[in-house]
Chain A
């Protein structure tokens, strides 16, 4: 049996841990609210622009137009695949990062089995640390972006990727992140962002008339697609941030509850030990008195 002092010390340390986890939970829930709002606002835009791009590409595919455009050029067996993995900068958020990495590894395996070279672009310290530990080569390491996403930074990042794609250095770009569903659920989302493959989009009721462009040139389409890619990467980061705070809130809630449970058991043990020592003392006194008779 541990001594009274030991148990007391342990209770104190568990209690202080509990305080920390509770504070972290509160911080996360406040941040979650903000991130959630941001995600909600930009979701409509992200959805519309995605819808727009999908409809345009289906339309173009139907008319057999522009299909030689690099953005629409689908390679059946890509030789080089760029995998963008979005993780958090901080830990203590349950299985948030490991789940994303697991899915990313699955994709990587799949393409490597097909003989493609997979280039990793990792956003977030946790992902970087993981792949560094595994001694994988990282093409891009971006820190401090997933914890405070800005449109400019996201656009600058994706511009690099798009340039590589247009230069033919990669033939497919996939983005993996852990997305926000609601306060307590996250879901790993895999987004094939380039090339824009009309066959991958769900065929909706699309208009049959020929698509016209105004002003009539490729730059419009290109600008629109660039805009789409920028926004999608920005939205992905926001979505991931909201999910991160959700996951952390949940993890910290569980930790606080566990600590509470532990304090309870420790208190019981402490009381038992105290009672025991009192009993022992009493016996000693009584037997001392008895002996003196």
Chain B
């Protein structure tokens, strides 16, 4: 199965840079999934959760507080204001969950979006 490059960058540095099979992004207009060979797209990202399946079938979950995403056939670039990795190839990073919740709650967006994202982060714990 082919892969697509996913990059998540914040002003604090690169959060994730690697190949994924599928990525689900939290667009302002709703969630959308991106597979390799996706058509070009620029999207506004809401506060929420980016989840992806990495090239070696591990799950990746990153909480973000809004930004922009640019998608083309072989690359997804997410330029976001803040991001916390909640789950990476090593497994759940439990110490990051509180941080992720704090980040989401500080985001300036609708309460519903925040609540959805927070519950998503919480559900990872179990």
The reply to whether chain A is a binding partner of chain B is yes
Contact A52 B77 (CB under 8 A): yes
Contact A215 B13 (CB under 8 A): no
Q: Tell me the number of A-to-B contacts counted with CB atoms below 8 Å.
A: 72
> Residue B44 at the A interface, CB < 8 A?
yes
Contact B42 A56 (CB under 8 A): yes
Having A209-B40, A220-B44, one finds 7 other A-B pairs with CB under 8 Å, namely A41-B13, A49-B79, A55-B70, A207-B72, A212-B41, A215-B28, A224-B68
Give the number of chain A interface residues (Cβ < 8 Å).
28
B-facing residues in A1-55 (Cβ within 8 Å): 40-42, 44-45, 48-49, 51-52, 55
A contacts, CB < 8 Å to B: 40-42, 44-45, 48-49, 51-52, 55-56, 59, 151, 206-207, 209-215, 220-221, 223-224, 227, 231
> Residue B14 at the A interface, CB < 8 A?
yes
**Bound Cα distance A210, B73 (Å):** 11
Contact A45 B79 (CB under 8 A): yes
Q: Which A residues lie within 8 Å of B39 (CB)?
A: 207, 209-210, 212
**Bound Cα distance A223, B45 (Å):** 12
Look across to chain B and name the residue whose beta carbon is closest to the beta carbon of A43. B13
Query: How close is A67's CB to chain B, nearest CB, in angstroms?
Result: 17
Contact B29 A48 (CB under 8 A): no
Contact B77 A44 (CB under 8 A): no
Query: How close is B17's CB to chain A, nearest CB, in angstroms?
Result: 9
B contacts, CB < 8 Å to A: 7, 9-14, 27-29, 32, 39-44, 68, 70, 72-74, 77, 79
**Bound Cα distance A207, B72 (Å):** 6
Q: Which B residues lie within 8 Å of A44 (CB)?
A: 9, 13-14
Among B7, B13, B42, B73, which residue has its beta carbon within 8 angstroms of that of A224? B42
Task: State whether A227 and B27 are in contact (beta carbons under 8 Å apart), knowing that A48-B7, A209-B40, A212-B41 are contacts in the complex.
Answer: no
Task: State whether A231 and B11 are in contact (beta carbons under 8 Å apart), knowing that A52-B68, A56-B70, A215-B28 are contacts in the complex.
Answer: yes
Q: Which B residues lie within 8 Å of A227 (CB)?
A: 68
Q: Which A residues lie within 8 Å of B27 (CB)?
A: 214
Look across to chain B and name the residue whose beta carbon is closest to the beta carbon of A53. B70
Among B9, B41, B68, B79, which residue has its beta carbon within 8 angstroms of that of A211? B41
Q: Which B residues lie within 8 Å of A42 (CB)?
A: 11-12
**Bound Cα distance A140, B51 (Å):** 46
